[in-house]
Structure 1
Amino acid sequence: MNADVLKGGFADAPVDAAHAFRAAMNVMARPGTVEKLAGAAPPAPLSTAAGTLILTLCDPDTPLHLAGDFDCQAVRDWIAFHVGAPIVGAESAMFAVGDWESLAPLTRFAIGTPEYPDRSATLIVEREALAQEGATLRGPGIKETAEMALPETEAFQMNALLFPLGLDFFFSCGDQVSALPRTTKVEAA
């Protein structure tokens, strides 16, 4: 095992995890907002925000899917050491991380069941940038409307139609995070 695997976790796990969890829940509760999310120093290609989300939200009972270039030995080893989450195929994942293209098609991921809509996947989508402009958002947590740059709008429109089923999304870039829950209605810019 490479010694670099031992690095990059939380310096003060209880405090760092609490701060990260609050930031993650804030962006999920207020779609379109962007917050700083730091504390982890994961190996490339994971961003600081994506690594921090994984450290905060995953554990040995949380199946995680690594898509595309994110499925590399350095990331697998880092997750195994710091989190212990099992790496699984998309169909079995509770969380998944990758860029938009490598996560496609979204139909591979669990959307929950009518009895258990919470048994759906949450996707962590790595982006080149996060911006509060672009598609118009409406729904819970948004006073009137909000704007958010999305990789496309149709997939999120279709996802909202599945409510109470569907996927939830975090978007990460560097040390920034934003989110789009399944309850949000998306209109093209």
Structure 2
Amino acid sequence: MTTAAHALSKNATGGLKAGFAEPVADSQEVFRSAMNAFGYAGRPFEIGQQLDGPTPFNTATSAFSLALMDFETSVWLQTQSDEAASWLRFHCGLPTVEDKTAATFAIITDPQSMPSLTAFHAGEIEYPECSTTLVIQVPSLVEGPKTTWAGPGINGSIEVAIAGLPSWFWSLWDLNRELYPRGIDAVFTCGNAMIALPRTVHVEFEDGSVA
């Protein structure tokens, strides 16, 4: 985006940071990346678009939000950022909610202090798709404890090393997986990359213990 275009966009949005430079094409491209991430769990997918989202969102969180959130969804923000809330309302048309169980999406920007996985809506037997999807920003997708993922969309198994998660995360994830077809899904973001973790994926630590 040129300096003049950026200034015009900023003025048009009342001082908010801009969204996609090409809203339709960029949104479709990021949506495909997100769907591929869920289809091929454990693989990192990069966002090609240059996007400076609101504080405290990274590029991948911002792009995921623009592509998958709209007026029919709702979001819970761990960090109560007026900038982020206003940016989401303007670009996505969606409301923020205080009730975690009412959120379609929850954006976690400080995973060490994130709520328990059980605090979010796991869906209903009749409508398992109505559960909350967590978007969790982490410091690294490759420098954390080594885990092995197996399940649909994974050829055999895949090694993943997400950094920055609380110590209880994987044990509660195992319980979440047992709720299938209910259960939450998660997307980890870092910089301009994301890795998806569907509720169907089984995770073990490097020593073979259940995560």
TM-score scaled by structure 2? 0.83
Match for residue 120 of structure 1?
A: 131
Higher relative contact order (CA 8 A, sep 6+): 1
Match for residue 149 of structure 1?
A: 161
5 Å matches for 1:34-183? 34-39=44-49, 40-67=51-78, 69=79, 71-89=80-98, 90-98=100-108, 99-131=110-142, 134-150=146-162, 151=165, 152-183=169-200
Letter in 2 for 1:18: Q
| Equivalent-residue separation in structure 2 for 1:13 and 1:117 (angstroms) | 30
| Equivalent-residue separation in structure 2 for 1:135 and 1:112 (angstroms) | 26
**Equivalent of 1:17 in 27, 51, 55:** 27
Indicate conservation of the 8 Å contact 1:30/1:141, yes or no: yes
Deviations 1:110-153 (A, max 9, x none): 11111111110000000001128711101001111101124242
* Larger-Rg structure: 2
TM-score scaled by structure 1? 0.92
Root mean square deviation, CA, Å? 1.8
Runs of 4+ in 1 over 3 A off after TM superposition: 1-4
Unaligned stretches of 5+ in structure 1? Answer: none
The percent identity for this pair of structures is 34
Letter in 2 for 1:183: T
Letter in 2 for 1:171: F
Indicate conservation of the 8 Å contact 2:117/2:173, yes or no: no
Letter in 2 for 1:105: S
Tell me the SS of whatever aligns to 1:170: strand
Indicate conservation of the 8 Å contact 1:31/1:141, yes or no: yes
Report which stretch shifted further, 34-43 or 83-92: 34-43
Tell me the SS of whatever aligns to 2:128: coil
| Equivalent-residue separation in structure 2 for 1:141 and 1:31 (angstroms) | 6
* Shift in Å, 1:32: 0.9
Unaligned stretches of 5+ in structure 2? Answer: 1-10, 207-211
Indicate conservation of the 8 Å contact 1:135/1:153, yes or no: no
User: How many residue pairs get matched?
Assistant: 186
* Shift in Å, 1:100: 1.9
| Equivalent-residue separation in structure 1 for 2:112 and 2:101 (angstroms) | 17
